[in-house]
Structure 1
């Protein structure tokens, strides 16, 4: 019998720590706004050349200010996701683990041991996690 969702979420946390998975906090909209504003100001002050210079300068600034903004995946799962999102993540991970023989799995720790010893299974779980976070506007990195 499969583990309860809470144990699957705990397993996701263990795997996240084991692989040092991080979630990049999306700064895309903020960066686009800064770039657009820079291009507008540059265009107003310097014409066509100012438009180009303002846009490039603002894009560089937006890229620098938005880089390195990440959280650990376990922090995002435990603190930032809503309960329905955690349940959805657990269900997605369970679907990736459909070929597991659940008779010997008693906890998240034993599941972790099984998954990390099977690179194909571990890759499938990480792929599901990447897809889940991508769907909610986040990026999983390791």
Structure 2
């Protein structure tokens, strides 16, 4: 019996929320470049004090620039994936949990909520999927 895609997506979202997994759309790299550039300029202009001042100013600028761009993985999975992407993720999850010898896929959801090994396998699959398909960075 096949698992309902929506139910499985919601179960994955629950696990991602419990583990507080966050996603960003490559904003970390932009923030790091801003911070490094301001520290470099501060160092050139003011020496060691400028490094500290530039690094601090750059960190604050990076914070302001990237504020609100980090989102929970659960939100991305439930709201940003189209139907075809959700189906592909469900196929990947089914392949990932095949090693746990679940004879009936309808048993997957209860086991998923109570088995740490299956939870980790499913979460790893979802993180890999979001990283490869949506080109997101994941923060665990």
TM-score over 0.5 for the alignment?
Answer: yes
Please give the alpha-carbon distance, in whole angstroms, between the structure 2 residues aligned to 1:120 and 1:139: 20
Q: TM-score, normalised by structure 1?
A: 0.66
Shift of 1:137: 1.9
Note if 1:129 corresponds to 2:123.
no
Evaluate the alpha carbon distance shift between residue 51 and residue 134 of structure 1 in structure 2; reply closer, same or farther with a 3 A threshold. farther
Match of 2:103 among 98, 101, 104: 101
State the number of aligned residues: 134
Please give the alpha-carbon distance, in whole angstroms, between the structure 1 residues aligned to 2:95 and 2:122: 9
Aligned partner of 1:119 in structure 2 is 116
Please give the alpha-carbon distance, in whole angstroms, between the structure 1 residues aligned to 2:20 and 2:53: 36
Evaluate the alpha carbon distance shift between residue 35 and residue 13 of structure 1 in structure 2; reply closer, same or farther with a 3 A threshold. closer
Q: Summarize the alignment of residues 1-142 of structure 1 with structure 2, pairs less than 5 Å apart.
A: 1-17=1-17, 19=18, 21-25=20-24, 26-39=26-39, 41-42=41-42, 46=45, 49=48, 52-53=51-52, 55-62=54-61, 64-65=63-64, 66=66, 70-98=70-98, 99-102=101-104, 105=106, 111-135=108-132, 136-141=135-140
Q: TM-score, normalised by structure 2?
A: 0.67
Shift of 1:134: 3.4
Q: Is the 8 A contact 2:40 2:51 kept in 1?
A: no
Q: Which runs of 5+ in 1 are unaligned?
A: none
